[in-house]
Amino acid sequence: MILYSKTHEYIRVEGDKGYIGISDYAQKQLGNVVYVDMPDLGDEIEKGEDFGAIESVKAASDLISPVSGEVVEVNEALSDDPRLINADAMANWIIAVSIADTSDLDDLMDQAAYDEFCAAAH
Amino acid sequence: MNRKVYGKLIFELSREGRRGYAVPRNGLSDDIVSESVQLPEAMRRATPLRLTEVDEPTAVRHYNNMSTNNFGVDTGFYPLGSCTMKYNPKINEEMACHSCFAGLHPSTPAFAAQGALQLYWTLQKALCEIGGMEEFTLNPFAGAQGELTGLMVIRAYHASRGEGEKRRKVIVPDSAHGTNPASAAVCGLDVVEVKSRPDGTVDVADLEPLLDDTVAAIMLTNPNTLGIFEKDIPRIASLVHEAGALMYYDGANLNPLLGVARPGDMGFDVMHVNLHKTFSTPHGGGGPGSGPVGVRKGLEKFLPNPRVVRRTETPDRFPVNESDRYAIEYSPLALGSVSATLGNFAVQARALAYILTLGSDGLMEAGRLATLNATYIKEALKDCYLLPIEGLSKHEFVFDGLRDKSTGVTTLNIAKRLLDHGYHAPTIYFPLLFHESLMIEPTETESRETLDEFIAAMRDIAREAIEDPETVKTAPHLTPVTRPDDTTAALNPVLTFDSL
């Protein structure tokens, strides 16, 4: 199950674990990504708060977490080549978290709702 | 621009053994030299210094050709939004280069530098009048350092009231210049973002719940980064003050308000101005900046040291000697020093020359013309470029790319194509409120003819985007460097010729 936030992060939910990245739409809007600032393993992150930042040739944006939880995986490949996000944003998640409370997912959008949200944004 | 473009590096022109001049032999025998200048082995270079070796005509032509690749306000129109790239009158240079100023050592005692201190003091007073502030310091070296200084004043103010630990938040709208949150972070404060309305103005309803006794200040740019005047400013100021916090004015967009409205009258407590924007001193690659900071009455004691004061009498009430009229003072309550001496003095000299040349009427005219020029371009182009916010704007405005987006021509393409027309590109992809922001600020120093030519070029590009989009997408075609790979440049910067 993949859900999206209004700040264009996605979370792919697998059991109690969630893989968080930025959407394909966000990737396109940002342009070529040159740096991803990621949290450390074991960090506690909070829904609605920033857990890192992403920098492109155009802009720098905070990464806002769609859920609260502990960081259990960090995609180290992005440190070497942040452009992986442009190549495939959905496959190249940024961090994985253990979701503390699944009700955090309630206000997120599914694919159809998110597509509509993006279409309305432009 | 029909000249052959020049884009060589001096290293490429180097040929071994080639010389411009032959240095005469020193006449001393090698023995004497090596004995008297015996450097320890470890301090000597292992390999000879690699200098370029060129003959004189090659060196002269190289640098002359390089100089013609420069682009500045002295060569063409420079509508870089938010930067106020106005023309810098040459009389400013003449004043700053006067030997009495230029030859002055920064450590000259006050009695021997009365003229320079009078200049500093007069500019302080002029800025107080323009900004509606009680006192100014001219010491910060740039706009961002001015922001940091201003926030340090605010922090010192809260600390003096025993609230230094409690008030750690700085509220910044999402439409703000990036330096605002950066300065707050460097100052050790926490940044809280407040969402803006579609026109970039602050939503009072969103702001109100954020205001409590943990807030140190709110930082605002007025007119904002979309060139829209913040009409709710008195209401915002009263809410912020009720919460015990201070109002910070980012002076980046002061130009249209010159002589028309004053931040002090709007309720701002602390402000900075950019002499290199509003007061026509060289900017960007053209020279150092200067970011004076002004404060309302009651905050002046926190301003950084050293400070320049004008004395009318001595402490024991004798009339002061002319050689002691202006003095450098150090306040014990000051937050410290932000520059070793009194800031970028030569920049201050240029700014004062500008203010005195225009006078108060001239300054007011400058601000109004800046607004008129921007509005003229906006109205002339809004049928082909998308104007996301209708209504009155000031000295700058933002398009959200072309109206017709079906061709795939982006703001970046338009900016690159403008280079072929001989213009500096506008600011692009800022503010972040729109996807295709194109921010234009012509300033007041441009003639109607220049504006008309620019408008024609912009219309040309809009037409070309439909008729021949490829030409726009692959622009520029007439510059020495066409499309640098900005991604690789950011990821793997090549900083020396050797690593090429």
Residues B408-446: tens digit of each pLDDT: 999 999 999 999 999 999 999 998 889 899 999 999 999
Residue B390 within any structural domain of the chain: yes
Nearest to B487 among A34, A60, A122 (CB): A34
CA distance B419 to B480: 11
Under 8 Å CB pairs connecting chains A and B tally to 19
Q: For residue B500, what pLDDT band results from cuts at 50, 70 and 90? A: low
- Which residue of chain A is at minimal alpha-carbon distance from B437? A58
* Sign, CA torsion B221/B226/B229/B230: negative
Binary contact (B491, A29; C-beta < 8 A)? no
- Whether B211 shows a pLDDT value over 90: the answer reads yes
- The predicted structure's pLDDT at residue B316: 85
Residues of B in contact with A54 (CB under 8 A): none
CA distance A58 to A29: 9
- Say whether residue A82 is in contact with chain B using an 8 A CB cutoff: yes
Secondary structure letter of residue B196 according to DSSP: B
Region B323-330: mean pLDDT is 92
The pTM (predicted TM-score) of the whole model is: 0.88
Placement of tokens 């793997």 in the chain: B492
Residue A34 vs residues A58, A76, A77, A82, B249: alpha-carbon distances, Å: 10, 14, 13, 6, 32
CA distance B190 to B118: 39
Beta bridge partners of A17: A14, A98
State whether B300 and B366 are in the same domain.
no
Binary contact (B435, A57; C-beta < 8 A)? no
Binary contact (B490, A83; C-beta < 8 A)? no
- Which residue of chain A is at minimal alpha-carbon distance from B411? A58
State whether B115 and B158 are in the same domain.
yes
Beta bridge partners of B481: none
- The predicted structure's pLDDT at residue B35: 65
CA distance B139 to B146: 8
Q: How far is A6 from chain B (nearest CA, A)?
A: 14
The whole-chain average pLDDT of chain B stands at 92
Region B1-5: mean pLDDT is 48
Residue ranges of B 175-204 with Cβ closer than 8 A to chain A: 178
Residue B427 maps to which CATH number?
A: 3.90.1150.10
- Which residue of chain B is at minimal alpha-carbon distance from A122? B435
- Whether B355 shows a pLDDT value over 60: the answer reads yes
State whether B153 and B46 are in the same domain.
no
Residue B317 within any structural domain of the chain: yes
Binary contact (B429, A32; C-beta < 8 A)? no
Strands (E), B356-495: 397-400, 427-428, 437-440
State whether B223 and B304 are in the same domain.
yes
Region B346-357: mean pLDDT is 97
State whether B341 and B371 are in the same domain.
no
Domains of chain A: 2-121 (2.40.50.100)
State whether B124 and B221 are in the same domain.
yes
The whole-chain average pLDDT of chain A stands at 94
Placement of tokens 């995986």 in the chain: A73
Residue B74 within any structural domain of the chain: no
Q: Coil, strand, or helix at residue B65? A: helix
Binary contact (B435, A122; C-beta < 8 A)? yes
pLDDT digits (tens, 9 = 90+) for A37-53: 999 999 999 999 999 99
- Say whether residue A58 is in contact with chain B using an 8 A CB cutoff: yes
Q: For residue B2, what pLDDT band results from cuts at 50, 70 and 90? A: very low
- Say whether residue B463 is in contact with chain A using an 8 A CB cutoff: no
- The predicted structure's pLDDT at residue B369: 97
Q: What percent of chain A has pLDDT over 90?
A: 89
Mutate to test the interface with A, among B487, B488, B492 (most CBs of A within 10 A): B487
Element (H, E) at B451: helix B448-467
Binary contact (B486, A32; C-beta < 8 A)? yes
pLDDT digits (tens, 9 = 90+) for B213-252: 999 999 999 999 999 999 999 999 999 999 999 999 999 9
Residues of A in contact with B430 (CB under 8 A): 59
pLDDT digits (tens, 9 = 90+) for B240-290: 999 999 999 999 999 999 999 999 999 999 999 999 999 999 987 666 899
- The predicted structure's pLDDT at residue B169: 98
Secondary structure letter of residue B285 according to DSSP: G
pLDDT digits (tens, 9 = 90+) for B147-190: 999 999 999 999 999 999 999 999 999 889 999 999 999 999 99
Domain stops at, among B309, B327, B355: B355
- Which residue of chain B is at minimal alpha-carbon distance from A35? B491
Residue B494 within any structural domain of the chain: no
Phi, psi dihedral angles at B131 (to 5 degrees): -95, -10
pLDDT digits (tens, 9 = 90+) for A3-37: 999 999 999 999 999 999 999 999 998 989 999 99
- The predicted structure's pLDDT at residue A37: 95
- Whether B4 shows a pLDDT value over 60: the answer reads no
Residues of B in contact with A57 (CB under 8 A): 486-487, 490
* Six-digit token string for A10: 């996605």
CA distance B377 to B385: 11
Binary contact (B491, A57; C-beta < 8 A)? no
Q: Which residue segment(s) compose the domain that B44 sits in?
A: 10-67
Based on the structure, what is the number of domains in chain B? 3
- Check whether the bond before B223 is cis (ω within 30° of 0): yes
Domain stops at, among B67, B82, B110: B67
- Say whether residue A7 is in contact with chain B using an 8 A CB cutoff: no
Residues of B in contact with A83 (CB under 8 A): 487, 491
Q: For residue B314, what pLDDT band results from cuts at 50, 70 and 90? A: confident
* Six-digit token string for B242: 């009720």
For this complex, say whether ipTM is above 0.95.
no
State whether B179 and B101 are in the same domain.
yes
Q: How many helices (H) and strands (E) does chain B have?
A: 16, 12
* Six-digit token string for B57: 């005509």
Region B117-122: mean pLDDT is 97
Cβ neighbour number for residue B478 with a 10 Å cutoff:
13
Beta bridge partners of B439: B398, B427
- Whether B5 shows a pLDDT value over 80: the answer reads no
Domain stops at, among B311, B330, B355: B355
- The predicted structure's pLDDT at residue B36: 66
Q: How far is B229 from chain A (nearest CA, A)?
A: 25
Element (H, E) at B367: helix B345-381
- Which residue of chain B is at minimal alpha-carbon distance from A82? B491
- Whether B31 shows a pLDDT value over 80: the answer reads no
CA distance B279 to B88: 9
- Say whether residue A122 is in contact with chain B using an 8 A CB cutoff: yes
Cβ neighbour number for residue B167 with a 10 Å cutoff:
24
State whether B253 and B124 are in the same domain.
yes
Residue B335 maps to which CATH number?
A: 3.40.640.10
- Which residue of chain B is at minimal alpha-carbon distance from A32? B487
Residues of B in contact with A58 (CB under 8 A): 429
Element (H, E) at B32: helix B30-36
